[in-house]
Structure 1
C-alpha cells in the first residue's frame, strides 16, 4: 500500500453538488463515471478517501475501487463529516 501524509480526497457527487460545496483539494469523479475513469485513480496518492452527501455513494465507490485492485480506499462518509474532520 502506498501511504502518503496527504490522502487523495475523492468527491463522488455530481458536478453540480461539487460546485455548490466541496472539501478543499478534493477531486470530483461522479459515481456514475467512476468505473470508466478508474485508471485515473491508479497513480493518485494513497489512501483515497471517498465522500458524497451522506456516505452511501462513497461506500459504493470504495467497493468499486476494491474490486479494481485499489485496496487502500476508505469511505469518508458525507460531506458534513469530511468538513468537520478537516476542521478538527
Structure 2
C-alpha cells in the first residue's frame, strides 16, 4: 500500500516544488483543484507512465477524497514511479480554507 500524506504536509512539499497530479475527471477538476496540480484522469494513467517516469522525486497524487489517489499511487508505485497519495484529497484542501483554482487549465 502506498504512502499517504495530509494536506498540511502537501503544502510543505509543494513549497519545495513538488509535482502534484489530480486523477479526477475533467469536470471535477474544473470545479476546484489545488493550484498547480496537473490533471491526469485515473483512466489515463497508463498512457501517462512515460511522462511521469522521468521525475526523480516523489509524485504527489490527489483526487476528491483520497480513494482514487491511493489506487493511482499504488498503480504508479507498481510501475516504478515513487508516488504518494494525499489523504482527504481536494475536499480536505478546500475545507482547510486553502486557495484553490477553478476551470480546466492548470
Residues 15-24 or 4-13, more deviating: 4-13
- 4+ long deviations beyond 6 Å: none
C-alpha RMSD of matched pairs (Å):
2.3
Query: Normalising by structure 1, what TM-score?
Result: 0.81
Q: Which runs of 5+ in 1 are unaligned?
A: none
Query: Normalising by structure 2, what TM-score?
Result: 0.68
Highest CA radius of gyration, 1 or 2?
2
Structure with more contact order per residue of length (Cα contacts < 8 Å, sep ≥ 6)? 2
For residue 86 of structure 2, what is the aligned residue in structure 1? 76
Whether the aligned pair in 2 keeps the contact of 1:76 and 1:82 (CA below 8 Å) is no
Q: Which has the higher strand share?
A: 1
Number of paired residues?
Answer: 84
